Amino acid sequence: SIENTSLCFGVYKGEIGNEGIEQVGFARVITDLATFAYLSDVFILPDYRKLGLSKWLMDVITNHSELQEVRRFMLATNDAHALYKKYGFNQIDNPERFMQKVRKSPYQQ
């Protein structure tokens, strides 16, 4: 999924270029850069939570120059509604219009 996503964001501990750098967070945005964007796979490792890193990551994503003209920016979350609300995300208007198709085991033959 990362290989086929043009906008991936990482949060790292350590100095870039030095050995021992550790990835502690990640997010990716699936988008056509014009009409639609979907924020996905957002995480900060448990040992690095409560340090403001998720807010910093959302600042970086929502202020990214290539995402400023996107008309609809969506995401799904189990428990971070308060965080995303701070960045302008709200409940879906007319949820009855949205549908999904889920393949339970797409990688099994």
Predicted confidence (pLDDT) per residue in 74-95, tens digit: 999 999 999 999 999 999 999 9
Residues 45 and 107: their CA atoms lie apart, in Å, by 27
Give me the percent of the chain exceeding a pLDDT of 70: 99
Residue ranges per domain, the chain?
7-97
| pLDDT confidence of residue 109 | 66
pTM: 0.88
Given a cut of 70, whether residue 64 has pLDDT beyond it is yes
Given a cut of 70, whether residue 51 has pLDDT beyond it is yes
Superfamily of domain 7-97: Gcn5-related N-acetyltransferase (GNAT) (3.40.630.30)
Size of the chain in residues = 109
Higher pLDDT, 42 or 15: 42
- The overall average pLDDT reported for the chain is 94
> Residue 91 carries which DSSP code?
P
| pLDDT confidence of residue 16 | 77
